[in-house]
Amino acid sequence: MDWEFLKGQDAAVASLRRDLASDRVANAYIFHGPEGVGKSTAALIFAKALQCGGEAPPCGECPACLKIDRGVHPDVIHVSPPEGRKSIGVEHIREAVIGRAVQRPQEGNRQIFVIDEAHAVTIGAFNALLKTLEEPSYDTVIILITQNLHALPPTVVSRCRRLLFRSLNRDEQRAVLAASLGGAGGDLDQLISLSLGRLGTALGNDPEVLAGRREAALGFLEGLAAPPGKADIIDLLSLAASQGSGSGAVRAEVLRFLEMLLGLLRDILVLKVAAGDLEPWNTDLDEVLRELGRRWGAPGLIQAMDRVETAVRDVGEINTNPSLTLESLVIGLRGTVGAGS
Amino acid sequence: MDIVIQRNTLHRALQSVQGVVESRSSAMPILQNVLISAEGKNQVRLLATNLDIGLQGLFEAKVKEGGSVTLNARKMFDVVRELPDADVNLIEEDGQWIRMECGQSSFRFPGLPPSDFPSIPDTGKEKSQSVPSKVLAEMIRKTMFAISQDETRYTYNGVYMESEDETLRLVATDGHRLAMVERSGLGADFNGGVIIHKKALGELVKLLSESADSVEIFMQKNHVIFRMGAIELSARLIDGDFPKYKQVIPQDNQHHILADRDGLMRALRRVSLLSNETRMVKFVFQKGQLTLMTNGSDVGEAHEVMESNYSGDELIIGFNSRYCLDVLNIIEEPDICFALKDSLSPGVISPSEGEGYIYVIMPMRV
Ligand SMILES: [Zn+2]
């Protein structure tokens, strides 16, 4: 995998390659832009280019490149919120980044820290990180990845080289998936729909699992629209429980489920009020979603999306019990059906 | 890989790496494993690392078929501990499973690809410095206790080791006190210095105590490696500037006061029992005598007088009693020497005879 893989991100790629060619690699970068457009992939390729021992970095074949591909290079350190959590705290940053950045590399040329979802880093953790950003050692590169540049403190942003990764349209997404999955991706349009246009999701998940999740989310919405009954709650809760044994895993699965729900609600809204201007992700569900849309008014749909977003925050950021959050979500969503129509 | 190794040898080999195996599950599960590789016909290499410290050793074994495997170091150690003293056969199976047989027992362990194991620096044919193990162990013991316990002050979390003009020097400080030990004529000369983290020092001291003669030191860009016989410990270096310690060591402390180390230590222990939370004990030097005093705490007050060769005007200086006791415990000579200037300047404690050990301690406001 090398730069060719990053379809549609010519400006960002050119900038990184210029830094490499002129040996003026910054000590800290921010890769920002929408989810699933290649930020993490770019960080990976950049890390390989920096650690590669081959002739034309990133060669993709030397031990360093292979280790980075398998996620086992000791000098390429990935930091992201713990499973089922939405924040990265000060202890986490201290242990994974600051404490390591003061050491010399283990086997590579440098140490590269890739902080995913940097908007989830707490203010306290960012403050602890500031000194590392201010007085970096030559062999440290920190890459902050975020969808939301404005969620980062200005003191941090000003110390990083910023690269914007732009959104990809459906054709560009199809091209990326075709290049990386080859023939293995099956129906690529279907995959783009199932992953709500997020390439990261499309590449990192089994399409059947995604389809199962969408099926469940769709069933849930249909259950909501149907006359009151308890089956939907129970179905939803058992779905969440079936996804993992640890509480972190349940939490993570509930989050993924809620995000799928949000995607479907968004598509229903698009079909109802903005068809022609915006394209729904789930193009294959057109009829079903239009039909479901008849049960809600536009204000009701917006209310419903708000409720789901609140639930996402509760489950991810606050230490609530996911099943309790889901139960109150069901009751809250029922109130949105028919509203404003 | 297919090797036969004696149970006792395997037990000793696994025991030697336990200290550096990652015990918690981390982002890199392979750090919980030990890498076992066949070397030639008659040896195996065991290797473990937690990315701060790497440890490897060569052990005798019969190699039937070369290769390497990685498996959970703790689990394997637990199993080997329970085996009788007999030959143990380790065989690599398909799909990265490892079978271990001993007598009638058979065990299978899941492995991880050896190519995923972090590489550990190789000493190759580089130039090394050789130092008697006992000397290095003593030098570490005399400095390590002064390392900062504050985990966020990274450059204070280790001992600084340097050589200069054929002198090997170790320095540690936490900002309140500083310990420095020097030995010359060892032939150690690697130009410059490095900070070695306290975690690595702990493991090193253990290995040095088992090492009979000398330790070879290899200085590399990113690591320092200590080789003791067939065992090698590599420590990742801390990238940062050690405080300019030479500026901290006072040169013009004109009062030199001798004291009986043991007597002073006992008196200090007694008097400090009634110190307040700052642990301060006042040292009152008057012509011919030294008085240790504590007052101002809720629990009471104490003082103890002893003879002294002090001959100047009255000098009162406060020291953290724990910092004083730390060094009095470490010094082996019967007499110590205080070098003081006034009540606000740092004091120096050193053995009264012989050179090469200096302890600087900041005074407290009395
Ligand atoms: Zn390469």
Smallest CA–CA separation between A127 and chain B, in Å?
13
Q: Is A99 on the interface with B (CB under 8 A)?
A: yes
Same domain, A215 and A142: no
CB of B252 within 8 Å of a chain A CB? The answer is: no
A226 and A106 both lie in a single domain: no
Domains contained in chain B, number: 3
Put simply, the answer to whether A102 touches B240 (Cβ < 8 Å) is yes
Residue B134 and residue B243 in one domain: yes
ipTM of the complex: 0.83
Residues at Cβ < 5 Å from ligand 1 ion = A 52, 54, 59, 62, 65
Which residues from chain B sit within 8 angstroms of residue A130, using beta carbons? none
DSSP classification of residue B302: E
Q: Does A339 map to a domain?
A: no
B141-193 pLDDT tens trace? 999 999 998 877 888 899 999 988 888 999 999 999 999 999 988 766 677 78
Domain boundary among B217, B247, B277: B247
- Greater pLDDT, A127 or B25: A127
Residue A179 falls inside a structural domain:
no
Please determine, for residue A171, whether its predicted confidence score (pLDDT) is greater than 50. yes
Q: In chain A, what residues touch B51 (CB-CB under 8 Å)?
A: 74, 106
| pLDDT: which is higher, A181 or A270 | A270
Q: Dihedral of CA A166/A170/A175/A181: which sign?
A: positive
Report the CATH number at residue A19. 3.40.50.300
Ligand 1 center from residue A49 Cα (angstroms): 7
Question: Is B118 in Cβ contact with A102 (below 8 Å)?
Answer: no
pLDDT single digits (tens) B260-278: 999 999 999 999 999 988 9
Q: Is A53 on the interface with B (CB under 8 A)?
A: no
Q: What tokens does B274 get? A: 């009634």
Asked if residue A312 and residue A214 are part of one domain, the reply reads: yes
Torsion angle defined by CA atoms of residues B267, B271, B272 and B276, in that order, rounded to the nearest 10 degrees: -170
What is the pTM (predicted TM-score) of this model?
0.79
User: Does B97 share its domain with B135?
Assistant: no
Average pLDDT, chain B: 92
The answer to whether residue A180 is domain-embedded is no
Is A284 an 8 Å CB contact of chain B?
no
**B118/A74 Cβ within 8 A:** yes
User: What pLDDT is attached to residue A245?
Assistant: 45
Contact between residue B302 and residue B273 where contact means Cβ atoms under 8 Å apart? yes
Rounded Cα gap, residues B178 and B196, in angstroms: 16
B18 assigned to some structural domain:
yes
Summarize the confidence of residues B240-244 as an average pLDDT.
Answer: 87
B261 and B236 in a common domain = no
Mean pLDDT of B336-343: 95
Q: Report the DSSP beta bridge partners of residue A143.
A: A29, A114
Residues A28 and A107 in one domain: yes
The owner of tokens 């901290």 is: B248
What are the CA-CA distances from residue B18 to residues A21, A50, B23, B210, B227 (Å)?
44, 33, 9, 16, 18
CATH number at residue B164: 3.10.150.10
* Interface residue A249 vs chain B (CB under 8 A): no
pLDDT tens digits for range B276-319: 889 999 999 999 999 999 987 788 999 999 999 999 999 999 99
B26 contacts chain A (CB < 8 A): no
Contacts of B154 in chain A (CB under 8 A): 99, 102
Do the Cβ atoms of A273 and A293 come closer than 8 Å?
no
The alpha carbon of B9 and the centre of ligand 1 are apart by a number of angstroms equal to 39
Which structural domain range is residue A35 located in?
Answer: 3-167
| A104 contact B CB<8A | yes
Rounded to a whole number, what is the distance in angstroms from the first to the last CA of chain B?
69
Whether A124 has its CB under 8 Å from any CB of chain B: the answer is no
Decide which of B66, B81, B116 is a domain's last residue: B116
User: Could you tell me if B134 and B242 lie in one domain?
Assistant: yes
Specify the number of domains making up chain A.
2
| A55 CA → ligand 1 middle, Å | 8
Tell whether B357 and B264 lie within a shared domain.
yes
Cβ of B116 within 8 Å of Cβ of A94? The answer is no
B121 within some domain? no
One-letter amino acid for residue A242 of the chain:
S
Residue range of the domain that includes B279: 255-361
